């Protein structure tokens, strides 16, 4: 009798808990991509949109909205100052967001101003040219850069101090070129530089690898180097790393989400739980692979600690280039 009572009590408690989870699901979920369509923030939102929907973890359709400006600065400030309590809103971030935070580019708000929710994958920096480019290897491109930096027009997402600029600066520094002498054309987000490359308005793009894979598969671009420790698996295995070509440069790009600072704990916990289930599924692993992202799974306190540590490291790197405000 006692055993039966215990089972009934546990079952009832489970139903109550399930009801709480169900009640916590937002009615109009939204993912904010902090740039124009087509770049890494867009990719991040749409990956979560598909992953949560396909796993049945989000019953209401999640819309993706765009809030470009300052590689995340406009969205960050808007969420913290004007939309801090929205239980249904998640905002995409990348390592570029953290680099800008490290340089004080998000105004009066720092990395402690939001609730860090989940990291769902990682990308890597890449050096990309048109398929008909005369530059067949990274050395070909860097030989031109060494001779005269003004002979090479490089497009990337973000102004001086941004993630793409930092990758470009590290590459330039590796061959003794002053990053300030580069012909660097800044765009907002990752989609515009690729369009400029295909239109021959720039000669190379240094950006996230995943932002160029669609054009790579279409035969329109060539990736001269990926900024990873080792070659990518599968269909990207033919792309050489910068390291194997003699340049000790790596740049992982974390992709994930945060929420407003005043979101209730139960709403934050609901999202955290949904992401943890999604990240543990084989179906999501396939979705992530299809978008040429690589495994990285962090939520809650683990992600927050990672973010704080990463920002400190970026502060040191920014100081090396005289970028700390």
Which domains can be identified in the chain, with CATH numbers?
A: 27-123+253-320 (3.40.190.150), 124-252 (3.40.190.10)
Record the tokens describing residue 293, joined without a space: 């992202």
Whether 280 shows a pLDDT value over 60: the answer reads: yes
Q: Regarding beta strands 183-187 and 89-94, do their DSSP bridges make them parallel or antiparallel, or are they unpaired? A: unpaired
**Which DSSP string do the residues of 132-199 spell out, in sequence order?**
T-S--SHHHHHHHHHH-GGG-EEEEESSTTSHHHHHHHHHHHHTT--GGGSEEEEESSSHHHHHHHHT
Q: Give CA–CA dist 320/323, Å, rounded.
A: 8
Mapping DSSP to helix (H, G, I), strand (E, B) and coil, where does residue 63 land?
Answer: strand
Work out the burial of residue 274: count CB atoms within 10 Å of its CB; fewer than 13 is exposed, 13-18 middle, 19 or more buried: buried
State the pLDDT at residue 324. 67
Contact 173, 141 (CB under 8 A): no
Contact 227, 242 (CB under 8 A): yes
> pTM for the whole thing?
0.81
Whether 6 shows a pLDDT value over 50: the answer reads: no
Render pLDDT for 28-84 as a digit per residue (tens, 0 to 9): 999 999 988 888 899 999 999 999 999 999 999 999 999 998 878 999 999 999 999
DSSP letter at 294? B
User: Which stretch of 23-37, 42-56, 196-210, 252-266 has the lowest confidence by average pLDDT?
Assistant: 23-37
* Averaged pLDDT of the chain: 90
**Which DSSP string do the residues of 194-254 spell out, in sequence order?**
HHHHHTTSSSEEEEEGGGTHHHHHTTSEEEEEE-SSSPPSGGGTTSPBTGGGT-----EEE
Beta bridge mates, 30: 63, 89
């Amino acid at each position: 009798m006692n055993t039966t009572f215990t089972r009934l009590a546990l079952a009832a408690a489970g139903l109550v808990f399930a009801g709480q989870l169900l009640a916590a699901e937002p009615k109009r979920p939204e993912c904010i991509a902090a740039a124009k369509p087509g770049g890494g923030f867009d990719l991040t939102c749409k990956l979560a949109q598909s992953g949560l929907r396909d796993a049945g973890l989000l019953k209401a359709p999640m819309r993706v909205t765009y809030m470009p400006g300052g590689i995340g600065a406009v969205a960050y400030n808007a969420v913290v100052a004007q939309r801090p309590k929205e239980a249904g809103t998640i905002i995409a971030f990348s390592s570029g967001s953290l680099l800008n935070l490290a340089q004080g580019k998000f105004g009066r708000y720092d990395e402690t101003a939001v609730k860090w929710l989940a990291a769902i994958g990682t990308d890597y920096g890449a050096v990309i040219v048109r398929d008909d480019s005369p530059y067949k290897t990274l050395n070909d491109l860097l030989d031109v850069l060494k001779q005269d930096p003004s002979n090479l027009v490089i497009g990337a997402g973000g102004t001086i101090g941004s993630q793409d600029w930092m990758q470009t600066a590290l590459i330039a520094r590796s061959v003794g070129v002053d990053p300030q002498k580069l012909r660097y054309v800044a765009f907002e987000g990752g989609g515009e530089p690729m369009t400029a490359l295909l239109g021959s308005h720039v000669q190379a793009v240094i950006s996230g690898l995943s932002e160029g894979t669609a054009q790579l598969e279409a035969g329109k671009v060539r990736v001269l180097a990926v900024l990873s420790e080792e070659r990518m698996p599968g269909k990207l295995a033919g792309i050489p790393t910068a390291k194997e070509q003699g340049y000790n440069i790596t740049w992982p790009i974390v992709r994930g989400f945060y929420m407003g600072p005043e979101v209730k704990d139960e709403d934050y916990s609901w999202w955290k739980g949904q992401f943890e289930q999604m990240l543990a599924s084989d179906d999501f692993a396939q979705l992530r692979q299809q978008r040429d992202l690589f495994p990285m799974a962090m939520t809650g306190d683990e992600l927050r600690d990672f973010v704080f540590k990463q920002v400190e490291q970026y502060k040191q790197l920014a100081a090396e280039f005289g970028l700390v405000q």
